[in-house]
Amino acid sequence: MPTHGPFSIKVNQANATSTMTQDFNVLYFDSTGNYIADQSLTTNNFINNRPIELDIPALSTSGTQVQMVISRSNTTAPANAATQLKYVFFGNGTRNCGPAEYTSYTMPVTFGHSAAAGANSVAAYDSFRPNIAQYFSSTGPVTIYFDTNNNRLATPQIRLKPDVAAANGVNNTFFPLGNIPVEADTVYDPDTFPNFYGTSAASPHAAALAALVLQAHGGLHSLTPQQVKTILQLTAFPHDLDPQFATGTATAANGGTVSIQISSDSDTNLGLGSNDPNSWNVSYTGPGYLKTLNFNPEGTPQTGGNGTGGNFTGFTPMDFLTPALYKFTPGMVFTSKFLVGNLVGVNSADVTHTRSNPASAPSNPDPSNPTEHEWTLNLTFTDNSFTAGDIFRFNAGRKQQQDATVPQGLTNTGASAPVIGTGASLFRADSTADLLGDGVFIPEDPNGTNIQPGMTFNGTIVDGATTYPFNGRLKNKIGHGYSVLDGFGFINAEAATAATLPVPGVVSRKTHGAAGTFDLPLPINGTAGLECRSGGASNAYTLVFTFDRPVASNGNATVTQGSATIAPAPAGGTNPSTGPNPNQVAVNLTNVTNAQHLIVTLSNVQDTSGATFPSVAARMDVLVADTNADHFVDSADIAQTKSKSGQAVSASNFREDLNTDGFLDSADIGLVKSKSGTTLP
Distances in whole angstroms, Cα of residue 262 to Cα of each of 290, 397, 479: 19, 13, 19
pLDDT < 70: residue spans in the chain: 1-3, 14-16, 90-96, 176-184, 187-190, 310-329, 362, 365, 402-427
Distance between CA atoms of 519 and 522, rounded to whole angstroms? 9
CATH architecture of 505-674: Sandwich (2.60)
Q: How many CA atoms lie within 13 A of 61 on its CB side?
A: 5
Q: Are 45 and 106 in contact (CB under 8 A)?
A: no
pTM of the model: 0.88
Which contiguous run of DSSP H or E holds residue 669?
helix 666-674
The Cα–Cα gap between 479 and 158 comes to 22
Contacts of 136 (CB under 8 A, 6+ apart): 93, 124, 198, 199, 267, 427
Residue 325's pLDDT is 62
Sort strands 289-295 and 456-463 into parallel, antiparallel or unpaired.
antiparallel
Task: State the Cα–Cα distance between residues 627 and 633, nearest whole angstrom.
Answer: 8
Amino acid 423: pLDDT? 40
Q: Name the pairing type of β-strands 142-146 and 24-29.
A: unpaired
Q: How far is CA 148 from CA 117, 153, 158, 494, in A?
A: 12, 10, 15, 39
Domain boundaries, the chain: 18-87, 244-477, 505-674
Predicted confidence at residue 314, as pLDDT, reads 56
CA distances from 562 to 4, 432, 595, 599 (A): 82, 51, 10, 7
The predicted pLDDT at position 329 comes to 59
Q: What's the alpha-carbon Rg for the chain, to the nearest Å?
A: 30
Neighbours of 616 (CB within 10 A): 21
Q: Can you say how many angstroms the Cα of residue 190 is from the centroid of all Cα atoms in its chain?
A: 33
SS3 485: coil
Q: What is the reported pLDDT for 57?
A: 79
Query: What is the residue-wise DSSP string for 241-309?
Result: SSTTEEEEEEE-TTS-EEEEEEE----SSS-TTTT-TTSEEEEEESSSEEEEEEESTT--GGGSS-TT-
Classify residue 316 as left (phi > 0), alpha (psi -120 to 50) or beta. beta
* Rounded-to-5 percentages of helix, strand, coil across the chain: 15, 30, 55
Compute CA 461 distance to the chain's CA centroid, rounded to the nearest angstrom: 33
